[in-house]
Amino acid sequence: MTALVVAPMVVGTAAAYAQEASPVAEALYREGKRLIEANRVAEACIKFAESQRVEPATGTLLNLANCHEKEGKTATAWAEFTQVAGTADLKGQTRRAAFAHEHADALEKNLHSLVVDVKRPSAGMVDANPSDGGNGYKWRLVLATRDDRSKTFGAPQPLAAPLNGYFSQRHPTLNRDETTIVFATGADASTGVGYEYLYFASRADASSAFGPPQRLPPIVNSEVRELDPFIHTYPDGGQELWFAHSESVGTSILHWTPIANADLGAPDAFATPKSLGGDFVQGINVTPVVSEDGLELFFSRGSGPSEISIWTARRTTPNEPFGKPEPVNSLNTDQADRPGWLSPDRCRLYFLSSRANPTTDGRLNIYVAERRPK
């Protein structure tokens, strides 16, 4: 991995910060500045993080991102610089936005983890079990890594136990700092095959192993089927959980709910999920993917697993409903196509497709499509 060389951090003065911060947040911020100037990076990061927790501020988050970059926490720093860049763009803070964009772009080249789900009987990738739906496959959560975005991912490796259990685990989604994963599974043997529920697992940081998976609260999980979770994070740090809810074969509707607590197992973590409704209730609507600014939605629509394609809808503000969805004809084939992840700048869409395989065996390959910035 190539070392990064970046310019020193330049942010507003403490006096300017004091105009918008609480006394506790300001004191923590000042202590963080003192520690970073003394090259006590780890201690400074703790102070900046606590100040940001007490009272979120873009300047504090910028210093925290710089601190995490110095610590070598690439994914965390990239997420924070990206968040600062988005907020600064919205507020017209051109210098701050340019600085954050520059650092985020440099760090993004060294992001190296991608969580995918695989349904392909290749050694080290998928466990075979004839009792699982009768097709001999189980879906497993796996991790593929690379040293640089321009390079090819290495061979996927199953995530460590206890994430992968008796039933299939599918459709993983990570939060921005990669400390929480949400996925769908029929984990309770008493429910029988065909039922899916949303589970989550947490870890201290992106380099640690995930703890035991826990089922999301009943306000999210019905007694029918929830699938295809997607954690959406706005530039200001606000989060939503998107997913598909299916009450019968051949129908599923997209839902979303704000995330109010970082502990996704807490009773107050979610509000009652809302359905998109309107033009989004026809047939099967699954795999929602939302742009960071909340203005663009990708999802897959169709009549069955092998007859499904990528659709998109847009809106002008996050508080408005999405407009009429349209198929993304430039990406769709006569096979199965499903969106998976959209880059923060909305220029790269990773998606799954069976275009290279017969639809009868269910194999999906991962593709990436690029477009120019708008």
Residues 176 and 142 placed together within one structural domain of the fold: yes
- Are 94 and 179 in the same domain? no
CA 95 from centre of chain? 28
Query: Is residue 293 a part of any domain in this protein?
Result: yes
Composition of the chain by helix, strand, coil, percent to 5: 25, 30, 45
Residue 317 sits in the same domain as residue 216: yes
Q: Are residues 216 and 289 in the same domain?
A: yes
* End position of a domain, from candidates 70, 93, 108: 108
Asked whether residue 4 is assigned to any structural domain, the reply reads no
Distance, CA of 102 to CA of 368 (rounded, Å):
23
98 is a domain residue = yes
Q: Locate the DSSP E strands across the chain.
A: 113-118, 140-145, 157-158, 169-174, 180-185, 197-202, 214-215, 226-233, 239-248, 251-259, 274-275, 284-290, 296-304, 307-314, 326-327, 337-342, 348-353, 365-370
In terms of domains, do 207 and 302 share one? yes
pLDDT in tens, the chain (374 residues): 222 222 223 343 333 333 445 888 899 999 999 999 999 999 999 999 888 878 888 899 899 999 989 988 776 787 788 778 877 887 888 899 899 989 988 887 765 444 444 333 333 222 323 234 434 456 788 888 888 777 888 888 888 777 877 677 888 999 988 899 999 987 443 333 456 889 999 999 888 888 889 999 999 998 778 989 999 999 888 999 999 998 776 678 999 999 999 899 998 999 999 999 888 887 889 999 999 999 999 999 987 666 789 999 999 999 899 999 999 988 888 888 999 999 988 888 999 888 776 545 567 888 888 887 76
In a domain, 5, yes or no: no
Convert the pLDDT of each residue in 216-244 to its tens digit. 999 999 877 898 999 999 988 899 999 99
Among residues 91, 108, 125, the one where a domain terminates is: 108
Q: Give a yes or no: residue 209 inside a domain.
A: yes
Q: Are residues 265 and 362 in the same domain?
A: yes
Q: What is the CA radius of gyration of the chain?
A: 21
If you ran DSSP here, which 8-state letter would residue 137 be given?
A: B
**pLDDT over 70, % of the chain:** 79
Please provide residue 29's backbone torsions phi and psi, each rounded to the nearest 5 degrees.
Answer: -60, -45
- Does 183 lie in the same domain as 168? yes
8 falls within a domain: no
- Domain annotation covers residue 3: no
Q: Are 106 and 7 in contact (CB under 8 A)?
A: no
CATH number at residue 48: 1.25.40.10
As for how many domains the chain has, the answer is 2
Which CATH number does the domain housing residue 314 bear? 2.115.10.20
Domain contains 271? yes
pLDDT of residue 355: 79
Rounded to the nearest 10 degrees, what angle do helices 58-71 and 41-54 cross at?
A: 150
Could you tell me if 295 and 241 lie in one domain? yes
**Same domain flag for 102 and 235:** no
Q: End of a domain among 51, 82, 108? A: 108
pLDDT digits (tens, 9 = 90+) for 320-361: 999 999 999 888 888 889 999 999 888 889 998 887 765 455
Give pTM, 2 decimals.
Answer: 0.65
Same domain, 32 and 69: yes
Q: Are residues 277 and 157 in the same domain?
A: yes
My answer on whether 199 and 335 are in the same domain is: yes
Owning domain of residue 192: 113-370
Sequence-ordered list of residues with C-beta below 8 angstroms from that of 75, at least 6 positions apart, any chain = 111, 113, 177, 178, 206
